């Protein structure tokens, strides 16, 4: 039936003439309630008229259904199969009409806009479920089916007449409902913005705490680095570094002193010893460090190819290796390493907090745009009611 759509078309672009008013945004809700209360009696009168028309149409339909139900299908000349289809369709159509009547009777809406929506839905649902049965029943039943349809048309016409006679108050309440809806949306956005801003403040506080924590850690590192304990450790590490550089040179010098050819001639029949020689010749430093030169020294002693110069170099190397080992044992754990790790973790946490903050700020920006659009729309709709929001 589409009563609601017909009603929308019926309402013209006329404005309800009210006294020019100026209100603040915070006064909108109060103004809406006062305006609605002032016109409540008029709305109630419309509701009473509509419900009276519902009683009238239900009474009219009850009578017409009785006539339709009593229609003698057997008097019609048609195939039994056709009569059976028409009979079944009539029963289903009558059942649909009864449901429509019950639904109209059960309407309890107290708002004009809700009432029109409810009636519109009832008839839309009825048309969907009854259309085919109506078409099939009219194959053999014409006048009686048309009379019921005529009753619906009369009801629709009566409702439109009621709406037409009261279009200004109807339009007023329709606009009030629209403004209320947008005002509620604006309030929801306002609540969301308060929550988001509070979340951003919390994140900022967490960031400040993390940055203070990092500053404290940096101060601790600074204190540690000027302590005698740390400086001694640093000196030992530097000494180890120097010793390692000297060892590299001493081991290289030792390699130059060795006669790998003479050693190979001496051990050529022993594959295991030849492998030791081969490995040292290819990478002397790495293989020497594996056992502090023991394997190559054993070969030198066994072959009698040791010289005083070689022995002095070996002793020097061993001395420096021992000295390096002693320094390593004296070096304590660097307390700044753990503090640096904590700083690194805190920086990661701060970066994550900043990413989270950015997400909330973007949502905040989007909501503010939506809020402003709603406010502008509210002002425009109130302007149509001769109300200026200042």
Query: Would you call 148 exposed, middle or buried from its count of C-beta atoms within 10 A (0-12, 13-18, 19+)?
Result: buried
DSSP lists the bridge partners of residue 389 as 23
Can you tell me the distance from the alpha carbon of 371 to that of 386, in angstroms, rounded to the nearest whole number? 22
Residue 141: CB atoms within 10 A of its CB come to 20
Say how many residues make up the chain: 390
Can you tell me the distance from the alpha carbon of 3 to that of 116, in angstroms, rounded to the nearest whole number? 7
Structure tokens at 91: 């029963």
Q: 21 by DSSP, 3-state: which? A: strand
pLDDT at 17: 45
Chain centroid to CA 73: 63
* CATH code of the region 178-258+305-390: 1.10.287
pLDDT at 5: 54
For residues 267 and 274, the answer to whether their CB atoms sit within 8 Å is yes
Which of 208, 204, 305 has the alpha carbon at shortest distance from 257? 305
pLDDT at 337: 86
Structure tokens at 31: 């103004």
Buried/exposed code over 273-310 (b: 16+ C-beta within 10 A; e: otherwise):
beebbeebeeebeebbeeeebebbbebbeeeeeeeeeb
pLDDT digits (tens, 9 = 90+) for 226-270: 888 878 878 888 888 998 898 889 888 888 888 888 878 888 888
Chain centroid to CA 293: 66
For residues 68 and 97, the answer to whether their CB atoms sit within 8 Å is no
Structure tokens at 360: 């909330």
Q: 389 by DSSP, 3-state: which? A: strand
- Residues lower than pLDDT 70 in the chain: 1-20
112-137 vs 80-105: helix crossing angle, rounded to 10: 170
For residues 184 and 176, the answer to whether their CB atoms sit within 8 Å is no
Q: DSSP secondary structure string, 145-179?
A: HHHHHHHHHHHHHHHHHHHHHTHHHHHHHHHHHHH
pLDDT digits (tens, 9 = 90+) for 133-152: 999 999 999 899 999 999 99
pLDDT at 288: 83
pLDDT at 214: 93
Instruction: Report yes or no on whether pTM surpasses 0.85.
Output: no
pLDDT at 10: 46
DSSP lists the bridge partners of residue 388 as 22
Which residue reads 């809020």 in tokens?
A: 371
pLDDT at 53: 92
Find the angle CA(343)-CA(347)-CA(350) to the nearest 5 degrees. 135
Q: Where are the domains of the chain?
A: 26-165, 178-258+305-390
Can you tell me the distance from the alpha carbon of 229 to that of 97, in angstroms, rounded to the nearest whole number? 99
Find the angle CA(15)-CA(18)-CA(22) to the nearest 5 degrees. 110
For residues 94 and 69, the answer to whether their CB atoms sit within 8 Å is yes
Can you tell me the distance from the alpha carbon of 368 to that of 193, in angstroms, rounded to the nearest whole number? 8
């Amino acid at each position: 039936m589409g009563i609601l759509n017909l009603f929308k078309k019926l309402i013209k672009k006329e404005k309800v003439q009210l006294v020019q008013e100026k209100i603040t945004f915070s006064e909108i809700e109060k103004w809406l309630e006062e305006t609605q209360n002032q016109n409540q009696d008029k709305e109630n009168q419309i509701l009473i008229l509509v419900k009276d028309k519902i009683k009238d149409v239900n009474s009219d339909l009850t009578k017409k259904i009785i006539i339709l139900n009593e229609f003698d299908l057997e008097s019609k000349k048609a195939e039994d199969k056709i009569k059976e289809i028409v009979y079944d369709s009539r029963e289903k159509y009558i059942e649909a009409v009864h449901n429509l009547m019950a639904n109209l009777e059960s309407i309890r809406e107290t708002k004009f806009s809700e009432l029109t929506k409810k009636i519109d839905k009832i008839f839309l649902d009825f048309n969907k479920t009854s259309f085919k049965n109506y078409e099939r029943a009219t194959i053999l039943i014409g006048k009686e089916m048309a009379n019921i349809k005529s009753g619906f048309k009369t009801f629709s016409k009566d409702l439109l007449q009621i709406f037409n006679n009261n279009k200004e108050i109807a339009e007023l309440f329709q606009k009030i409902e629209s403004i209320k809806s947008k005002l509620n949306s604006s309030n929801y956005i306002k609540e969301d913005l308060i929550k988001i801003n509070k979340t951003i403040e919390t994140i900022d506080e967490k960031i400040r705490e993390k940055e203070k924590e990092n500053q404290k850690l940096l101060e601790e590192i600074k204190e540690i680095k000027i302590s005698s304990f740390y400086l001694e450790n640093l000196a030992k590490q530097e000494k180890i570094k120097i010793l390692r550089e000297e060892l590299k040179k001493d081991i290289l010098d030792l390699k130059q002193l060795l006669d790998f050819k003479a050693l190979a001639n001496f051990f050529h029949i022993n594959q295991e010893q030849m492998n030791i020689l081969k490995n040292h010749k290819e990478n002397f430093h790495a293989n020497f460090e594996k056992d502090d030169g023991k394997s190559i020294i054993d070969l030198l002693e066994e072959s009698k190819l040791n010289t005083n110069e070689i022995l002095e170099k070996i002793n020097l190397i061993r001395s420096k290796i021992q000295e390096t080992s002693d320094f390593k044992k004296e070096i304590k754990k660097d307390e700044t390493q753990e503090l640096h790790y904590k700083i690194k973790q805190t920086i990661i946490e701060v970066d994550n907090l900043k990413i989270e903050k950015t997400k909330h700020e973007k949502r905040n920006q989007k909501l503010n745009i939506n809020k402003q659009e709603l406010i502008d729309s509210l002002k425009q709709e109130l302007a149509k009611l001769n109300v200026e929001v200042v």
